[in-house]
Copies of this chain bind each other. A is one copy, B any other.
Amino acid sequence: MLAQELDARKEQILWAVIREYVARAEPVPSEVVFQRYSLGVSPATIRSGMHALTEMGYLRQPHTSAGRVPTDRAYRLYVDRLLSQACGGSSPEPVLSAAERERIRRRLAARDRPEEALEEAAQTLASLTEYPSVVSTPGGPRRLRHVHLVPLAQDRALVVLVTESGAEQRVLRLERPASAEELEEVSRLVSRWLEAVAGQGEPLERLAAQAQSHRGLLASVVGQLRRAVAARGNVRFFVQGVANILKQPEFQDVRRVRPVLAALDREEVLRNVLLPAPPEVHVRIGRENPVEDMRDCSVVAAAYRAGGRAVGVLGVVGPTRMPYAR
């Protein structure tokens, strides 16, 4: 019943069933495994193997006279194997040709608004995989590089934060009206300060301390900055290709799709699902998913790098039956 090691034959059979099911989205009978995967044994033997795998919890049969379907557990095993292989030897067949890669890189670089680039990335990923895909803005601790304050109205100013991985804006409510000159002075002060301490420890903390003794404006700017840099909450997500999920046979039923789509609409969910993705590539299969509504899906997430550090996350959401080979 439990996962004692599979012998070679069982493993072959399991792999075959998984691959076949991924391709057909229908229960896989022994006959098909026999025809398409030359295992050197007859259907009957395959059947007995499948029987054993079923007892071990790797396969499942929808009803007595149907083929077998892999369980989450089977996928888990399969994916783990794939990943460890990929880490070991270099992956044998790059899913994207070099030319394709280059084209994508080009298209991304051509976008002259950083957000657009991310959106484009999500789009590309979605159309490439035919699944809904998500790309997050760079998040996590970053180092500020410049700050600009721009007057908006009497009591508001726009704070433009330039970090090592892009810029973002926030509206700052001023306690008292400030002149354009004053704003500019503060911008320059803060920016220069940032430059001065660049590369040493955590600049913000020190700046905050120094700001205590300054006038209110500087203090509130610093407050805003601290909030801005405080990792959580300032990650945004671009979701693209949601409609793709409707192509999948297992999502032909609206009642099954709704929770998933609803989940993709909610930022907290995306955060929960995508952000805890520490290693390079992470796969969550079915019920492994922290979010109840996504228990019918798998999520493949990977961090992407920008300027050295891994900062953002991108992911693909699909049925548990997806070609994990990516």
The chain A residues found within 8 Å of chain B, CB to CB, are 111-115, 145-146, 148, 150, 158, 160, 162, 166-172, 224, 234, 236, 240-243, 246-247, 251-254, 257-259, 261-262, 264-265
Contacts and interface: CB of A to CB of B under 8 A. Distances in A.
Given A242-B242, A243-B262, A265-B243, A167 B162 contact: no
A162 B146 contact: no
Contact of A168 (B113, B236, B241, B254): B113
29 contacts: A112-B170, A112-B172, A113-B168, A113-B169, A113-B170, A113-B234, A114-B158, A114-B169, A148-B148, A148-B160, A150-B162, A150-B167, A158-B162, A158-B166, A158-B167, A160-B162, A160-B167, A160-B169, A166-B169, A240-B265, A242-B265, A243-B258, A243-B259, A243-B261, A243-B264, A246-B261, A251-B254, A254-B254, A254-B257
A42 B112 CA distance: 67
Contacts of A243: 258-259, 261-262, 264-265
A interface, by DSSP: helix, strand, loop or mixed?
Answer: mixed
A246 B242 contact: no
Contact of A241 (B167, B252, B259, B265): B265
Contacts of A169: 113-115, 160, 166-167, 169
Nearest to A123: B265
Contacts of A150: 145-146, 148, 162, 167
Nearest to A160: B160
Contacts of A172: 112
A234 B116 CA distance: 10
Contacts of A162: 150, 158, 160
A311 to B, nearest CB: 15
A260 to B, nearest CB: 8
A146 B158 CA distance: 11
Nearest to A267: B119
A246 B258 CA distance: 6
A297 to B, nearest CB: 14
A47 B172 CA distance: 63
A112 B167 contact: no
Contacts of A158: 114, 162, 166-167
A25 to B, nearest CB: 14
The 9 closest A-B pairs by CB, nearest first: A243-B262, A243-B261, A246-B258, A112-B170, A150-B162, A148-B148, A167-B169, A160-B160, A112-B171
Given A158-B162, A162-B150, A240-B265, A113 B246 contact: no
Nearest to A111: B171
A171 B114 contact: yes
Contacts of A234: 113
Contacts of A114: 158, 169, 171
A168 B253 CA distance: 41
